[in-house]
């Protein structure tokens, strides 16, 4: 792409943990050295993170080295392969990862770069080299923006391997989280295989340890998934056994039912040696939990404004935003439950409000995840425009003429 629309979609977060999304923008390339300064007006000079997503299109059909130079932590995926995993504090350091197979010239490959800055200087640089190409930054002409990945603390995030969506709860007990999962139309996560476990760790591990649906609440030592009650493991670490075809990743010497009270399973977060491994916790411990759905979800915000009171003749725009949607997005605005013909964009404009425009406006949004979601209703109130003195005089004159005419008709009758 050489038309100035290339680059990567950058999500800018106000924490080190890819949470508190503050801004998104297209970055033509990732070749930043912010020193001790700020990377974006909406962020501070420390404790921030970014996620860049999109596609990279190579010029040559060959194996590529992808390079990142960062201060501090970084993870890089190209074509779904984790090429660099240095999610730790460090000064400016260059890391290299090599694609396991040749890339094909002219073919776009998905790329995702997670980055965080802890303190001091901050550098984020993405480059490449190959047999036919010297080491350089990946420039705009080779990049195409993606849709973003999402706020790990608040958003539904799609796992491309199974099309399922995942979202963390606020910290709460296992039972509370189990109830909330149902209210969200999902279930506390069932970890089916190593790939899902790894994806969860790479996506949500920054938030710390998370409850899953694993539990032996109903019967001590009989581990089941909350989703469907399937029994996947029996016993404690000393004598336990996985139930085929399930897969488990218990931490060494877990599950141990410590104090005879640990009946809720989950996965360790962070970057320590136990990260991604499973533990049993006391269910009343207050932790975040991970909710999974087998169907799509849309991260819909708005309408903005949520409500408004207008005077006749005023104008207003209502806006909804679908953050990092999947595939084709469609919009249909409804007024008092009925589709408004032609109102099929993220913004609904009332150019010259009339009394009949009063009502409740909902935007129905669909994407290919697949999901359809209705926004909350924006309530629009329209008040009559009070007569101006001049208009009032004219109206009185008109009334006088009408009365005179009526009188004339009566006299004729
Ligand atoms: Ca730093
Ligand atoms: Ca699952
Ligand atoms: Ca137990
Ligand atoms: Ca334990």
8-145 and 157-293: identical CATH topology: no
Query: What would the two tokens of residue 146 be?
Result: 């993606």
Query: What would the two tokens of residue 209 be?
Result: 């340890």
Measured in Å, residue 188 CA sits from the centre of ligand 2 at 9
Q: Which residues of 170-209 are buried (b: 16+ CB within 10 A; e: fewer)?
A: eebbbebbbebbeebebbbbbbbeeebbebbbbbbbbbeb
Measured in Å, residue 247 CA sits from the centre of ligand 3 at 18
Pick one of 1.10.3080.10, 3.40.50.720, 3.40.30.10, 3.90.182.10 as the CATH number of 8-145. Answer: 3.90.182.10
Q: Can you give the pLDDT at residue 386? A: 83
Q: Which ligand places an atom closest to the C-alpha of 35?
A: 1
Q: Can you give the pLDDT at residue 307? A: 97
Strands (E), 220-344: 222-225, 231-234, 241-242, 264-267, 278-281, 288-293, 299-304, 307-311, 316-323, 330-335, 338-339
Q: Which ligand places an atom closest to the C-alpha of 257?
A: 3
Measured in Å, residue 54 CA sits from the centre of ligand 3 at 44
Measured in Å, residue 217 CA sits from the centre of ligand 4 at 14
Instruction: Confirm if 315 and 351 have CB atoms less than 8 A apart.
Output: yes
Q: Which ligand places an atom closest to the C-alpha of 224?
A: 3
In this prediction, the residues of the chain whose per-residue pLDDT falls under 50 are: 1-3, 413
* CA 369 to chain CA mean position, Å: 13
Q: Which CATH class is domain 157-293?
A: alpha beta
Residue 234, Cβ density class (10 Å: 0-12 exposed, 13-18 middle, ≥19 buried): middle
Q: Can you give the pLDDT at residue 1? A: 40
Measured in Å, residue 273 CA sits from the centre of ligand 4 at 16
Distance CA 133, CA 152 (A): 36
Distance CA 240, CA 222 (A): 10
Instruction: Confirm if 318 and 302 have CB atoms less than 8 A apart.
Output: yes
Peptide bond into 407 cis (omega under 30): no
Q: Can you give the pLDDT at residue 168? A: 98
Q: Which ligand places an atom closest to the C-alpha of 268?
A: 4
Distance CA 214, CA 224 (A): 6
Ligand 1 (ion): residues with CB under 5 Å are 71-72, 120
User: Which of the 8 DSSP states describes residue 217?
Assistant: S
Measured in Å, residue 294 CA sits from the centre of ligand 2 at 8
Measured in Å, residue 285 CA sits from the centre of ligand 3 at 14
Q: Can you give the pLDDT at residue 390? A: 63
Q: Can you give the pLDDT at residue 271? A: 85
Q: Can you give the pLDDT at residue 164? A: 97
Q: Which ligand places an atom closest to the C-alpha of 294?
A: 2
Measured in Å, residue 255 CA sits from the centre of ligand 3 at 7
Q: Which ligand places an atom closest to the C-alpha of 285?
A: 4
Q: Can you give the pLDDT at residue 146? A: 92
Q: Which ligand places an atom closest to the C-alpha of 89?
A: 1
Distance CA 206, CA 194 (A): 18
What Cα–Cα distance (Å) separates residue 339 from each residue in 257, 344, 378, 403?
55, 9, 15, 44
Which fold, 299-383? Immunoglobulin-like (2.60.40)
Domain boundaries, the chain: 8-145, 157-293, 299-383
Give pTM, 2 decimals. Answer: 0.86
């Amino acid at each position: 792409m050489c038309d100035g629309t290339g680059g990567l979609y950058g999500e800018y977060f106000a924490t080190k943990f890819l949470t508190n999304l503050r801004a998104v923008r297209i970055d033509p390339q990732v070749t930043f050295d912010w020193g001790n300064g700020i990377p974006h007006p909406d962020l501070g000079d420390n404790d921030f993170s970014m996620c860049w997503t999109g596609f990279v299109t190579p010029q040559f059909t060959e194996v590529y080295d992808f390079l990142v130079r960062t201060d501090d932590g970084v993870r890089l995926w190209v074509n779904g392969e984790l090429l660099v995993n240095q999610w730790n504090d460090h000064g400016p350091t260059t890391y290299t990862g090599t694609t396991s197979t040749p890339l094909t010239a002219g073919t776009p490959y998905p790329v995702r770069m997670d980055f965080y800055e802890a303190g001091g200087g901050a550098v984020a640089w993405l480059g490449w080299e190959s047999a036919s190409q010297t080491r350089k930054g990946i420039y705009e002409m080779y990049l195409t923006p993606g849709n973003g990945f999402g706020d790990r603390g608040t958003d539904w995030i799609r796992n491309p391997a199974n099309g399922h969506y995942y979202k963390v709860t606020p910290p709460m007990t296992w039972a509370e989280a189990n109830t909330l999962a149902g209210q969200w139309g999902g279930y506390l996560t069932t970890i089916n295989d190593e790939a899902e476990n790894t994806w969860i760790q790479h996506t949500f591990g920054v938030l710390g340890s998370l409850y899953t649906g694993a539990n032996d609440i109903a019967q001590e030592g009989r581990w089941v998934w909350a989703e469907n009650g399937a029994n996947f493991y029996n016993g404690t670490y000393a004598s336990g056994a996985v139930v085929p075809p399930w897969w488990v990743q218990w931490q060494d010497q877990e599950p141990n039912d410590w104090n005879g009270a640990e009946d809720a399973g989950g996965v360790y977060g962070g970057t320590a040696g136990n990260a991604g491994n499973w533990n049993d916790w006391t269910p009343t411990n207050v932790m975040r939990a991970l909710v999974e759905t087998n169907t799509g979800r849309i991260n819909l915000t708005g309408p903005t404004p949520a409500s408004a009171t207008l005077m006749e003749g005023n104008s207003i725009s209502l806006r909804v935003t679908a953050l990092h949607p999947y595939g084709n997005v469609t919009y249909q605005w409804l007024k008092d439950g009925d589709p408004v013909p032609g109102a099929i964009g993220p913004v609904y404009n009332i150019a010259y409000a009339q009394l009949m425009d009063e009502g409740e406006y909902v935007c129905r949004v669909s994407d290919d995840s697949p999901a359809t979601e209705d926004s909350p209703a924006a309530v629009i109130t329209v008040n009559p425009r009070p007569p101006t003195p001049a208009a009032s005089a004219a109206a009185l004159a008109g009334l006088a003429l009408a009365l005179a005419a009526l009188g004339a008709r009566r006299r004729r009758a």
